Amino acid sequence: MSDSSRPLLEARDVSKSVDGPEGRLDILDKVSLQIRPGESFAIVGASGSGKTTLLGLLAGLDTPDSGGVVLDGHALQTLDEEARADLRRRLVGFVFQSFHLLPALTAEENVMLPLELEGASDARSRARDALEAVGLGSRRRHYPAQLSGGEQQRVAIARAFVHRPRVLFADEPTGNLDQRTGHHICDLLFALNHDHHTTLVLVTHDATLAARCDRRIELEEGRVLASSGEAA
């Protein structure tokens, strides 16, 4: 359906403002970008520059005030919430900055969720494989509250890739991990990128991780300050 010359993900003049206690706050101001299928793309910038907000808009979790996002040929602003959710289930994996694991489910059950949503019959064994891949095979029966922050993050990463999404969005995927575990998670993300052509869109403060990506943009106060890497 998609070829490698067409962007898999495109943002056109995306803007977002919120009404805060100190009046209107422009979080994103006319951000445009194009990401090709199979590309790895890093979003960097200072705290508060709008990275998480942009990631949420690109993944269809939130809607811009103006401008548009096109994901795999679908203009997200033309879809209602239900249609966007369906598209996310089919195409997208998302690792939140705060993990968002369901507290009443074990690690394994959390990872099984995206597979169960698509009716997979082998959800449990695939969830176990994904937990093994992030080094948590021995923690699969643990609940999120019984896991360390870095372990919860790895469960969230396993949940995001277990259903082989076309695009994996990750907000600070190595932020809470020690150097060695962080390195292992990076290798895992890039293995998905190489082996399965999974497009990676990563928010990161980790310069080494950003440098490993094909392209990077830097946000400053909601604007694209700089971009680098091969030309789009």
Ligand X SMILES: Nc1ncnc2c1ncn2[C@@H]1O[C@H](COP(=O)(O)OP(=O)(O)OP(=O)(O)O)[C@@H](O)[C@H]1O
Q: Which is nearer to ligand X, 20 or 103 (CB)?
A: 20
Q: Which is nearer to Mg ion, 110 or 204 (CB)?
A: 204
31 contacts 226 by C-beta, under 8 angstroms: no
Q: Is 49 in the site for ligand X (CB under 6 A)?
A: yes
CB of 53 to Mg ion, least distance (A): 8
Piece in contact with ligand X (CB under 6 A), picked from 1-9, 40-48, 71-79, 158-166: 40-48
Which residues make Cβ contacts (< 8 Å) with residue 14, sequence separation at least 6? 28, 30, 31, 32, 54, 57, 64, 66, 67, 68, 69
Single residue of 10, 16, 31, 52 touching Mg ion by CB under 5 A: 52
Instruction: Write the DSSP string, 59-122.
Output: TTSS--SEEEEEETTEEGGGS-HHHHHHHHHHHEEEE-TT----TTS-HHHHHHHHHHHTT-TT
> Cα-flanking dihedrals φ and ψ of residue 54, to 5°?
-65, -40
CB of 146 to ligand X, least distance (A): 26
Q: Is 20 in the site for ligand X (CB under 6 A)?
A: yes
Q: Which is nearer to ligand X, 18 or 191 (CB)?
A: 18
Single residue of 48, 118, 191, 211 touching ligand X by CB under 6 A: 48
- Going by C-alpha positions, the residue among 16, 75, 34 that lies closest to residue 231 is 34
Q: Is 53 in the site for ligand X (CB under 6 A)?
A: yes
* Partner in contact with 73, chosen from ligand X, Mg ion, none, beta carbon below 5 to 8 Å by kind: none
Q: How many CB atoms lie within 10 A of CB 102?
A: 12
CB of 171 to Mg ion, least distance (A): 6
* Partner in contact with 18, chosen from ligand X, Mg ion, none, beta carbon below 5 to 8 Å by kind: ligand X
- Going by C-alpha positions, the residue among 100, 4, 101, 112 that lies closest to residue 56 is 100
Query: Where do contacts with Mg ion occur on this chain (CB under 5 A)?
Result: 52
Query: Where do contacts with ligand X occur on this chain (CB under 6 A)?
Result: 18, 20, 25, 27, 45, 47-53, 97
